[in-house]
Chains A and B, each alone.
Chain A
Amino acid sequence: MSIEMHELSKTFHKKERALTDVTLSLRKGEVVGLVGPNGAGKTTLMKIISGIIVMYDGELTFSGEGRSVGSLIEKPKFFPNKSGRYNIHYFRSLFGGDDERFDEIIQSLGIDSYLKKKVKDYSLGMKQRLGIALALISNPDYLVLDEPTNGMDPDGIRNILGYLKKLAKERGIGILISSHILEDIENVSDRVYVIKEGRLINEYAKDQQQGEVLEFTFSQADLHQAMHVLAGYEGVTRSGNVLSVPFDGDMKQVLKHLSQHDLFPVDVKRKKDTLEDFYFQNMESEAK
Chain B
Amino acid sequence: MNVSQFFKLEIKRNLNLALFVSIGFAFLFGGGIVYSIYQLDGPFQPRNVSGLYSGVATVALGVFCAKVVIADLHHGTVYLLFTSARNRIIFLISRVLVISVVSLLFGLGCAALLYVNHVLNGQAFSAGDVGQAVLQYVLFGVFFTLLFQVTSMFYQKVMQLLILSLVTILVLPGLLGIVFQVEAIPEFVKDIVAYAPIYSLPNQLPFLMLDGMEMVVTGIVSLLLFVFAYERLPKIDY
Contacts and interface: CB of A to CB of B under 8 A. Distances in A.
Contacts of A74: 76, 79
B80 interface: yes
Nearest to A50: B83
A95 B83 CA distance: 12
A69 interface: yes
25 contacts: A47-B238, A50-B79, A50-B83, A51-B84, A52-B78, A52-B82, A52-B237, A54-B235, A54-B237, A55-B236, A71-B79, A74-B76, A74-B79, A77-B78, A77-B80, A79-B13, A79-B77, A80-B75, A91-B80, A94-B1, A94-B5, A94-B9, A95-B1, A96-B2, A134-B80
Interface in B199-238: 234-238
Contacts of B8: 93
Contacts of B79: 50, 52, 71, 73-74, 77
A53 interface: yes
For chain A, the bracket of interface size reads 20 to 34
Main DSSP-derived SS at the A contact region: loop
A51 B83 contact: yes
B82 A51 contact: yes
B83 A93 contact: no
A51 B237 CA distance: 9
A170 to B, nearest CB: 25
A7 to B, nearest CB: 18
B155 interface: no
A74 B2 CA distance: 25
B14 to A, nearest CB: 12
B83 A52 contact: yes
Nearest to B238: A52
B6 interface: yes
Report the 9 A-B pairs with minimum CB-CB distance, sorted nearest first.
Answer: A77-B76, A51-B83, A53-B237, A93-B5, A77-B77, A52-B238, A94-B1, A77-B79, A51-B84
A204 interface: no
A90 interface: yes
A73 B82 CA distance: 13
A78 interface: yes
A171 interface: no
Nearest to A56: B237
A157 B104 CA distance: 49
Contacts of A134: 80
Nearest to B85: A54
A90 B79 CA distance: 15
Contacts of A55: 235-237
Given A54-B236, A134-B80, A93 B75 contact: no
Interface in B68-127: 75-85
Interface string A48-73: 00111111000000000000010101
A55 B9 CA distance: 30
Contacts of A54: 85, 234-237
